[in-house]
Amino acid sequence: MTWLFGSLNRILQVTGRNIFWVMVLHTIFVPLQGAFNFLVYKYPRYYKWKEKRRKARKSKKEMAQAEGGDLARPKTESVAVTKRFSGIDYDDGLEENTNTDVTPSAKHEEKMAEEEEKEEEKSPDV
């Protein structure tokens, strides 16, 4: 493939014809020979990796089905979204969070205030 346009270009030059687009394709494809060689060289490794990944997915799916789970449709929600909108306080186990007005930044501020109070209690009064 890389030498097709180069050979065609040389044949046309010998006959006295110069076609611009054949010369352009010649200058594009001849330097790409190294890239094509790289792809041919790396394909066996890629194929082995792809097969290994396919087998791992298949075994994972079979294990999940054996346990009664379903991996046909993976969960798309991130953990952060689940924590934020579920109403469950993950720090205290699975108890429902009754204070739904508290945002994550407000919780952080409350924890920081508690830590400051603890530090003030530890420091001696002067």
For the chain, counts of helices (H) and of strands (E): 5, 0
R_g of the chain computed on alpha carbons: 33
* Cβ partners under 8 Å of residue 61, min gap 6: 71
Between 113 and 83, the higher pLDDT residue: 113
Q: Please list the alpha-helical segments (H only) found in 4-103.
A: 4-14, 20-29, 33-66, 79-85
Write down the pLDDT at residue 73. 53
C-alpha 40, offset from chain centre: 25
- Mean confidence (pLDDT) of the chain: 76
Burial class (CB in 10 A: 0-12, 13-18, 19+), 120: exposed
pTM of the model: 0.37
Across the range 43-67, mean pLDDT stands at 87
Write down the pLDDT at residue 2. 78
What count of Cα atoms within 13 Å lies in the side-chain half-sphere of residue 50? 6
Rounded CA-CA distance 61/67 in Å is 10
Between 90 and 47, the higher pLDDT residue: 47
